Amino acid sequence: MATDVDHAPPGGAAFAASVDLDTVVGSVLFLAIFILVWVSLQPFQDLSAPQLEITDSGNVANQIGFASLFLAAAAWMVVHEPARLKPLLRPALVVLLIWFALCVATSWEPALSARRLVFTLIVLALAAMALLVPKNLRHFSDLLAAATLIVLALCYMGVLFLPDLAIHQASDFLEPEHAGSWRGSLPHKNQAGALMVVFIFIGLFVARLRSVVIGAAIVALSGVFLVFSFSKTSIALLPLVLIVSGIARHVRPIIGIVTAVAVLAAINLVSLGSIYFAPVRDALGQIMDPSFTGRTDIWQFALEQLAERPITGFGFSAFWGTERVVYGMSQGSNWAANATDAHNAYLNLALTVGIPGLVLALVWTVVLPIVDFYRRPAEAGDALLATLFLRIWLFGIYAASFETTLFQQVGEVWFILLFSVFGLRYLSLQRVTP
């Protein structure tokens, strides 16, 4: 997004300016990035077919698609003040990436880790560059609303015209118990539910900044889809995030920071802590399934494996789905060896990049963003944008307690969380043109 140093005309004059080729190219690039992430190159997957669990050379279509968009975005940035990216590459991120590289070298699957780290770097770069594409705040709002409405339209069209591929069926190979839950163009109801929560935040932002009608439509459509996705985690986290973000916006920085982090710690104490603390487990049993739909078995298995390699882990993004885990640990061991991830992003990071890697990741993804939120200039007129980023960030780090949404290869929530982390950093340094 442009800043006030660009000397763009204020207010509506900037938005009313003639649409030139540069604006069109930037708009297409922004929409292409978000639609690729949110829709993917393989929407409406058939879940009745057996899923291959063993990792191979990766998804070639995704590699080509993301690499192509990366090159296009890089070319766009070359002629649009590439120096604006420099503040986003902060020391904490550099140190984190260096540790990830070390964990590639010590990985039990070095080639797999290396390939996935490269892909992660591409996703990181795309999120940072996409943030700087819109010309001003209104342009950003319009593009984000357009991307959201496109994805919502695809999801609803799937439910109406391709129900076998957009709604979980009893014939699903892995999880037939989810029959009836809406997933739209996404592979799973939980992914769909999480994305709908993000869309609700976007709708609230659009309603306040640009159009009440469009914003309300986004909120309504996303809310209905969220309910029918039956994604319990996302449904429960939506009001929690709205409450915490409301508190954060109206209290002193130290109270806001402590509140946001304390809620995250409490969520993980209740979830992971239920494995070790009987009172927590017993209390949970009075109100819900204390196994968190079978997650506790996976968490127990992951914690046992972490004890074997606590410093560097098993290798960046190289544990679940590998032959050593699926075949070497499944026989005579916990069925959780066949899981696709730890269903807790923080535990997953510790397992793959060690406890030091987890600490570094927490600094960059949890601590610094909330500090950046409070470092914004007091007179800044971008409060609505800051609130949007804050809500998405809060939802992302809280949802990570139940799903592996941090440093994924491709993740709908991970990408917008990255986008918000960079956005909060950007807003802490300079003002945005209206």
pLDDT for the residue numbered 275: 77
Reference 186, options 61, 393, 38; nearest CA is 38
Residue ranges covered by each domain of the chain: 20-46+59-80+134-230, 92-133+238-434
Per residue, what are the HEC states of the chain? Answer: CCEHHHCCCCCHHHHHCCCCHHHHHHHHHHHHHHHHHHHCCCCCCCCCCCCCCCCCCCCHHHHHHHHHHHHHHHHHHHCCCHHHHHHHCCHHHHHHHHHHHHHHHCCCCHHHHHHHHHHHHHHHHHHHHHHCCCCCHHHHHHHHHHHHHHHHHHHHHHHHHCHHHHECCCCCCCCHHHCCCECCCCCCHHHHHHHHHHHHHHHHHHHHHCCHHHHHHHHHHHHHHHHHHCCHHHHHHHHHHHHHHHHHCCCCHHHHHHHHHHHHHHHHHHHHHHHCCHHHHHHHHCCCCCCCCCHHHHHHHHHHHHCCCCCCCCCCCCCCCCHHHHCCCCCCCCHHHHCCCCCCHHHHHHHHHHHHHHHHHHHHHHHHHHHHHHHCCCCCCCHHHHHHHHHHHHHHHHHCCCCCCCCCCCCHHHHHHHHHHHHHHHHHHCCECC
pLDDT for the residue numbered 214: 97
pLDDT for the residue numbered 18: 47
Residue-by-residue pLDDT tens, the chain, 434 positions: 765 534 343 444 444 444 688 899 999 999 999 999 999 888 998 888 776 544 455 678 888 889 999 999 999 999 998 989 999 999 999 999 999 999 999 998 899 999 999 999 999 999 999 999 999 999 999 999 999 999 999 999 999 999 999 999 998 887 888 899 999 999 999 999 999 999 999 999 999 999 999 999 999 999 999 999 999 999 999 999 999 999 999 999 999 999 999 999 999 888 887 777 767 766 766 666 656 666 777 888 888 888 889 999 999 988 877 766 666 665 545 555 566 777 889 999 999 999 999 999 999 999 999 999 999 876 656 899 999 999 999 999 999 998 888 987 778 899 999 999 999 999 998 877 77
Report whether 316 contacts 361 (CB < 8 A): no
pLDDT for the residue numbered 12: 44
pTM attached to this predicted model: 0.90
pLDDT for the residue numbered 287: 66
Report whether 93 contacts 306 (CB < 8 A): no
pLDDT for the residue numbered 327: 65
- Helices 110-131 and 60-78, axial angle in degrees (round to 10): 40
- Helices 232-248 and 212-229, axial angle in degrees (round to 10): 140
pLDDT for the residue numbered 5: 39
List, for residues 143-191, the tens digit of each pLDDT value.
999 999 999 999 999 999 999 999 999 988 878 888 999 999 999 999 9
pLDDT for the residue numbered 216: 97
pLDDT for the residue numbered 380: 59
> Residue 13 phi/psi, 5° resolution?
-60, -35
